[in-house]
Structure 1
């Protein structure tokens, strides 16, 4: 049986995250592991009675949601496990994902950890960097499972392992899949290479219906959001090549302006660890060191403000 790990807290948005995971668990099917982490209060770790109280609240939430939003037969089919730990989610999620052999992590966009209220998406981006399995980030709100999917990435640089991970999720997310590759005007000479890469990826995926799209746009992230809006996509799949690129997807300028891609679930596929670049001379060593220390900031000038 597949396993879905759901980091959860006691916020109102957590109900929508769990409700979405429930529907996914029925369709796949999969077991649901609820992970609750209680941050230390005033330097004191959570006690056993406190964790027991949190577990009782989670069990009550589970019983209410499984029978309110699912048929009784479907609700009974889902198996739940509970993991309650003292400390921050960031400190435990990597070990817990490995412990339960999670096939997928489902978490909310606005999950709050360690008592810090950070910009939406920051927690999701951090968790994605910690776990090896795919992470599904669900924004607040009630929604049905997706039937229209968009997969956007740099297919020319995509690892075959990422395509294998995505194919393993086909039963969970059936439906037509649009493959989208954006390129800038300066990359026009590479258009044939990019077209071959996206066509090859389409043949390696297990989806019955895949439609490749090769589009020119000097602002790919905004282009992805507009493409999803035009096609009324219900799930965006991305395979970012860096942590900075992932952070830009959830940047506050997009969540504040309610960009379309922040209003639908986003499935993040983590690429295998790339080998570090090796410098061939002192000048190259200096350049690589600058690239490693450079902070990647959102390109606010590229945002198409209404």
Structure 2
């Protein structure tokens, strides 16, 4: 059974993200685990800490039961919830250590004005040990058909990185596009043909298309594509190389997550980084 962790602050955006994930995996057996992190009082007694924890878990239990009553749960799906005190990132780490998840889901308002959702989504992308799905509240609850994977054909070590995408594609129904943003002077012939062939072979049942655009900015190129082509799910790859791209706000995936207008699936493939060198002018993340 696929284990999916869904972060919630009990907002409409968080609930929508859960519903979207359930629609996305409608044909798969999944265990959805809600996670809410609550504030802890400084210098509180153990008794008070325990009481706050019990109240928070009771609220979560009521939320889960209310959700099950409001929405008819897919027979392939199970739903539970946990409330953990303290920092949301530590809570995710603690829960993952006990119950490893294959995906973390977080909601987004889509306009960049939600500090909690925006900051959580971007930080989770940087730190999560598994793929992250960011769902804007405007995302339609319907079968996914148009998938776009942003790649420069060098940002992955193995094509199996894209297994989470293959799991939700449907032969004869899904359209898969590999989107590559080239430098203005770059030619499509310069991309790694061997890796392109590997992707074609891995997704041969879905007859993927390869789309090339030229732009000085990877981010602006992706945004231009999205503005002109219907996309149900955008997929990017994160390497979590260093804190430099965080400090300089250079991460394409994290910017897309903060300003999410289409659902974003960020795949994680850790790479070794032997030093914290001064950052170059190039993007480290697509």
Normalised by the length of structure 2, the TM-score is: 0.79
| Match of residue 261 from structure 2 | 263
CA distance in 1, matches of 2:102, 2:91: 17
- Deviation of 1:4 after TM superposition, in Å, equals 0.9
Q: Does 1:7 align with 2:2?
A: no
Bigger share in helix: 1
Would you say the 8 A contact 1:5–1:35 is kept in 2?
yes
Would you say the 8 A contact 1:179–1:198 is kept in 2?
no
SS in structure 2 at match of 1:79: strand
- Deviation of 1:137 after TM superposition, in Å, equals 0.3
Q: 1:158 to 1:32 in 2, by over 3 A?
A: same
Q: 1:182 to 1:85 in 2, by over 3 A?
A: same
Q: Does 1:149 align with 2:147?
A: yes
Would you say the 8 A contact 1:37–1:86 is kept in 2?
yes
Would you say the 8 A contact 1:164–1:205 is kept in 2?
no
Structure number with the bigger relative contact order (C-alpha 8 A, sep ≥ 6) is 2
- Deviation of 1:142 after TM superposition, in Å, equals 5.4
CA distance in 1, matches of 2:205, 2:223: 22
After superposition, residues 1-306 of structure 1 pair within 5 angstroms as 1-41=1-41, 44=44, 45=49, 47-67=52-72, 75-110=74-109, 118=115, 121-141=118-138, 143=140, 144-160=142-158, 163-174=159-170, 175-188=174-187, 191-205=189-203, 207-241=205-239, 243=245, 244-245=250-251, 246-250=253-257, 255=259, 262-277=260-275, 289-291=277-279
In the comparison of the two structures, how many residue pairs are matched?
Answer: 261
Q: 1:24 to 1:124 in 2, by over 3 A?
A: same
Would you say the 8 A contact 2:139–2:263 is kept in 1?
no
SS in structure 2 at match of 1:165: helix
Q: 1:49 to 1:110 in 2, by over 3 A?
A: same
CA distance in 1, matches of 2:109, 2:120: 7
- Deviation of 1:75 after TM superposition, in Å, equals 3.0
CA distance in 1, matches of 2:91, 2:116: 21
CA distance in 1, matches of 2:169, 2:69: 25
CA distance in 2, matches of 1:65, 1:88: 30
SS in structure 2 at match of 1:32: strand
Bigger share in strand: 2
- Deviation of 1:42 after TM superposition, in Å, equals 5.7
Return 5+ residue gaps in structure 1 as ranges: 68-73, 112-116, 256-261, 278-287, 297-306
Q: 1:156 to 1:171 in 2, by over 3 A?
A: closer
Q: 1:230 to 1:10 in 2, by over 3 A?
A: same
CA distance in 1, matches of 2:77, 2:191: 45
TM-superposition CA deviations, 1:177-196 (whole Å, max 9, x none): 100111112434x8433455
SS in structure 2 at match of 1:4: strand
Q: 1:204 to 1:275 in 2, by over 3 A?
A: farther
- Deviation of 1:212 after TM superposition, in Å, equals 1.2
CA distance in 2, matches of 1:142, 1:204: 28
**What's the RMSD between the two structures over aligned residues?**
2.8
Normalised by the length of structure 1, the TM-score is: 0.74
